[in-house]
């Protein structure tokens, strides 16, 4: 049995250790956040329910928004041109509430593969794709991607030929980036909606590729 452990006092019924309670004292910044939030509510500038609803809005944003943008760019040449020209405006016109997000779309081709990183912190197009994965914020990803992008890609299972040029984009200031991955071969007859299902979060960060569907009848 995979979970045939015998330490019943410290392991959960599924056989994994219980997560320790978070009993450490609040950090300086946690105290600061609570203090500022309580002051804003006390002074009537915002309310607890407005804050909760903003958190809901952020949690409702998912990579499927970006996948719809990519699938449309694959299908609609006019939208594709608008997206490459001004990605913020094009995604807004498509109906996404991306706030003040300043977005640049970078496109993979047969010769070029794009990858996004933020070495200084964890800049990510949250207003379109939702919260970034934890690894995106890790020191390892941030420091290694600018130094050895091919090794990082290989760990994600993406091995590119030497002749494919890798373009790493370090979002150091005000822009955020989305990669437009290559449209998989054999998808000429798929609907835009079905195509969106092939666009993974990682393919829009550049650590993955879009999914190639199995051949029909396979």
Partner 1 sequence: MQKVRVKPLMPPGHVRTPAYLRGKVGVIERSLGVFPNPEDLAYGVTASALPLHRVRFTMADVWGANAENPDDTLDAEIYEHWLEPADAT
Binding site for partner 1 (CB under 8 A): 119-120, 146-151, 162, 165-175
**Annotation marks residue 75 as catalytic:** no
Catalytic residue, candidates 14, 27, 88, 118:
118
Determine the length of the chain. 218
Judged by beta carbon, residue 164 or residue 182, the one nearer partner 1 is 164
Q: How far is the CB of 192 from partner 1 (least distance, A)?
A: 29
- If one counts every other C-beta atom within 10 angstroms of the C-beta of residue 13, the result is 7
Judged by beta carbon, residue 75 or residue 160, the one nearer partner 1 is 160
Catalytic residue, candidates 88, 123, 171, 203:
123
Q: How far is the CB of 171 from partner 1 (least distance, A)?
A: 7
Judged by beta carbon, residue 72 or residue 113, the one nearer partner 1 is 113
**CA atoms of 84 and 76, how far apart (whole Å):** 12
Q: How far is the CB of 134 from partner 1 (least distance, A)?
A: 22
**Annotation marks residue 118 as catalytic:** yes
> Which H or E run includes 92?
helix 87-93
**CA atoms of 79 and 81, how far apart (whole Å):** 5
Alpha-carbon distances, residue 105 vs 39, 85, 147 (angstroms): 39, 8, 22
> Which H or E run includes 192?
helix 192-196
- Catalytic positions are 118, 121-123
């Amino acid at each position: 049995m995979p979970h045939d452990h015998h330490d019943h006092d410290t392991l959960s019924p599924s056989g994994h250790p219980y997560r320790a309670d978070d009993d450490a004292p609040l950090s300086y910044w946690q105290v600061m956040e609570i203090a500022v939030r309580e002051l804003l509510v006390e002074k009537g500038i915002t309310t607890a329910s407005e804050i909760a609803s903003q958190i809901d809005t952020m949690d409702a944003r998912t990579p499927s928004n970006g996948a719809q943008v990519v699938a449309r760019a694959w299908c609609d040449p006019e939208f594709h041109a608008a997206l490459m020209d001004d990605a913020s405006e094009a995604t807004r016109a498509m109906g996404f509430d991306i706030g003040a997000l300043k977005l640049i779309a970078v496109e993979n081709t047969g010769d070029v593969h794009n990858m996004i990183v933020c070495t200084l912190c964890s800049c990510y197009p949250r207003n379109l794709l939702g919260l970034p994965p934890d690894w995106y914020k890790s020191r390892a990803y941030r420091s290694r991607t600018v130094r050895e992008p091919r090794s990082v890609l290989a760990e994600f299972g993406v091995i590119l030929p030497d002749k494919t040029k890798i373009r790493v984009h370090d979002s150091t200031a005000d822009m955020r980036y989305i990669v437009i991955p290559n449209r998989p071969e054999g998808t000429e007859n798929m609907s835009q909606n079905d195509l969106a299902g092939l666009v993974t979060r990682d393919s829009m960060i550049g650590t993955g590729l879009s999914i190639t569907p199995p051949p029909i009848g396979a």
